[in-house]
Structure 1
Amino acid sequence: MQIKTLKGKMLLGFAVMIIIIAGVTGWSIYNFKILSNAINDIMVENYRSIKASESMVESIERQDSALLLMLRSPEEKGQEIFRKNEKEFYTWLARAEDNITINGEGEILNKISDNYYKFISNFDRFYNAEEDERWNVYNQKLLPIFTQIKDDIRGLRELNRQAMLDAQQEANSRANQAIIYTLILALSVIIFSLIFALYLTKQILRPIKELEKGIKKVADRNFQQKVQVASENEIGVLADEFNEMISKLQEYEKINIKKLLIEKEKSEAVVNNLSGPLIVTDKDSKIVLINQAAKDLFSIEKDVIDEHFLEAIQSEKLFEYIKEPGEKEENTILVKKDGQEKHYKVSTNQVIDEEEGYQFTVTLLEDITRLKEIDNMKSEFVSTVSHEFRTPLTSMNMGLSMVINGDTGELNEEQQELLEAAYEDVERLTELVNDLLDLSKIESGRIEMEFDKTDINNLIEKTLEPFYRQAEEKDIELIFNKDEENIFAWADPGKISWVISNLVGNALRYADEGTIQIDTEVKGRRVLISVEDNGPGIPAEYQKKIFDKFVRAGNDKDEKSGTGLGLAIAKEIITAHNGRIWVESEEGEGSKFYFYIPRFGYQEEEK
């Protein structure tokens, strides 16, 4: 009967191979069984006797040592050791007698048993003899018997060892015989399998090769070539389906080429008409797309597609933003063009493919020069107004203070209350003006930072001293944990102390009980400092905005919450240190503020 289907031919091949493998497996199991019995003869039957022999030698040697101990000392320790090992000797002797498997083994064991009985009998004579006579009994009676017993045990062990060698030789002979038979059978099976496999492969591959030739022509975009396979099995069916697919591809190709050209033209038109510069780079930082606005901004006149970013655009800062998107809170760059300075906000987006991973990065630059100018004008206005407010506020503060203190005459109770309320408002307004002036100086770069090698642990301890009393009054435990004894940072001690004071002061202001914990930790080239409390916490929607000017979290609108500038000033100070500040918080479970600054010795690397 002729087998036409590919499935039938493969099943026939598998069936033949299974039968062959089953035969080889049965033959191997038979040989392994024989070898296993031979090895069992070697290991099991004689091992027990050898083990018993070694244990008897060990026991009688310990008894001999006990005799020598008794010769030197009249203590009962020697007798105890002797009797203990007597039991051990009889135990192993009994095991040896139960495992007699070799001719002559029984006679040796009987001889050992008789001599050991004499040895024990003479021990009683030795034990009851006077101290001076013990040496005679030991040398004339016990020692010769001891030596004879050891020789007999060695003979027993040699007899079993020789039996093991004989059994091993027999096992080796059987193993060699099994190897020869197995090799002959395996060679026969391999030769037969190769012949059968070649025949079966030829029958299967003939139509496949014909199909392969047709597929290669189609791969070269020759959709006019049909595949001709003279076969009635699955390969023939596949060839018919493939020919049908080619017919459909001819139709799809005509439609898709036109659509692709239209979409490509649309994409290029959209990119080139974007008002902002756009750059697309691949995972090797090579430019794959750039619009005309980006070329104009960076004065690019040649074709830079497939060039490395830094070869085409000399901006390392922009390259850092592209390589590490999202690492910094504010991605902005300054570009000088035609004698003018322009500020751009950098937005980067990595395109990720679910199967192949990272593909490319799209970078869009937004011109924020006008916003920067407006922000600078606002800062200058605030600075000017705050400066103008300072003088009259100082006069008001001094005047109200004199009146309240009674320097201008005695006040009644109602007048005292009104003036004290006015004095508190002037104090609050003065604090706001001072914060605005400090923030304006930091933002404009007019405030000078006095960087120096700073002992962070010492700085924090001094900063916390005035807060311990406030914490004690509110039943709050103020804890400072040091990661190391000496942690040095490159910082302005006064400014960092101000930041820590602000964070601890805020924690004391909002926490009513519990603990406030300050931690320091070395993180590579940075020093990480954190302030944690168990206060009311900060809502999630405010955790990023809380460092902006005049922002207060949630219901934090009462008078005790300060000016709303403290965290904004802290952020500017930390940014001036080339550091970063952030908060982690959950409502009802407290807040934890973090900031890091460069370690001493790493400040240049941080820059």
Structure 2
Amino acid sequence: MRLKTKLSIGIGFLFIAILISGILGIYSIHQLKKDARLILEDNYETLVYSNNMLSLMDRVPFDSAVLREFNDNLVKQEANITERGEAAATAAVRNIYEQLKHHPDNDSLQSIIRRKIYQINTANQQAIFRKNTLAESNARRFSNFTMIIFGFLALIAFTLAVNFPGIISEPVKALSDGIKAIVNKDYSKRIRISQHDEFGELAQAFNSMAEKLDEYEHSNLAKIKFEKSRIDTIINQMNDGIIGLDESRNLLFLNKVAEKLLGLREVEIMGQYAPDIAVNNDLMRSLLKTDSPVKELKIFADQKESYFHLDILNVTNNEKVIGQVIVLRNITPFHELNEAKTNFIATISHELKTPIASIKMSAQLLTDTRVGAVNREQEELVKSIADDANRLLKITSELLNISQVETGHIQLKIEPVFPDIIIDNATNTVSALAQQKNIAIRIHNNTHAHKIMTDPEKTAWVLTNFLTNAVKYSPEDGEIDLTTSIRNNSVEFSVADHGRGIEEKYLSRIFDRYFKVPGTPEKVGTGLGLSISREFIEAQGGTIWVDSTLGEGSTFGFTLPLFTAE
């Protein structure tokens, strides 16, 4: 049965019960009113008329006024004859009354008329008693019938009042509990409703939905658990430390490598606020720095110093950051290889310097006439040997310098020095090379009487490198400008040439190791000179820079701090 039908039946029954109760009440009241009216209108009025006539019979004298009033009551009685025997008694009273009008003092007639009036009273009193008994019987019958009907209707209404709200409230409550369970992801919840109405259909639809959600949840949960297990296995097999944080920076996971590096166990700190962990953990504190995070960390792990590269990856969803993954990539093998390479280069370079110096000395002895004269061809060969020896000596010196830089063992002798000394050393070194191309080096020294804090040997090497490159890339009969000036408590050295210049896209890489501008002949340098220059200058607290325009020339420069006497 449909819910609408149930509601219609329940409300309709209540309406019918109210209607029946109203009709019965109205009918009972009407019937009682009718019985009362019969008693009052018929019998009671007759008694009034009879009593009035008896009262008039007691008056003395029995004159015409009394007779006239007596006649009025008798006329009314004649119009109100309702009981058996009442008509004969009333006719007898009329007959005697007619006789009495002529003989008012006749006692015999008065006695007879009194007896007839008493007969009328007796008949009406008996009728009143009979009708009253009948009225009581009717009232009792109607009362019993009404009570039976009311009791039956009340019982049914009580049954509806007790059970009917449950027909609606219980399914609603069951559906509400089911919806709450679904909200809490309890997809095993089912609603048991046996009603064959809209609630029953709704319960079936709910159960179908919960079953589908349960299947979907278990299938997805199995996949998620499998994928999580696989990802955990992969992460734990990696040599890199991996730490996961949620959007509130609470710890989600960390792999075995991260546990070793942090000295913490995942199960002990899972779900904790990462900055709280960092209070007692130096490594975690370094990893959480957001202002200037360190990209390379040296950590004691596996009974040795290891090197790790730090990467912080943001996890986003719809362009909103929902977490972070911190990756500590183990670069120790690369450091070890680089150190081995540096040691190898340093060893080879150091070992090559002795035979190269011997070759250079031998070539110089061959040009000495005291050893013996050489012809023109031999002189050119000796010169070629000397040039190659100088070039090899320069390369080995650069390799030694770069190995020194890479090992972090740059030995500096910082002292106050006049810039003129550095300028003289550098220009004297490249003067012969400049003369070969007839290039003039113009010096613009604006730092007289000022000293700089520097290692004069290293700084002269850098300036010599700048001048050598300027000579190499300048056209013959050209000019090179060497300028010094005071810049914000520093002395700036700059070397400007008018060669072919450098394209702007290569300027950011010009100080990188082994970098050569495309198009540069292979025989020119090793690509280490500018890189070593930057290391030397920055190690002294200075800065190095380049400015160049293709086709117009280049300007290389560096700054060093001024010496201030305390």
TM-score by length of 2: 0.49
Give the greater-gyration-radius structure (CA): 2
TM-score by length of 1: 0.46
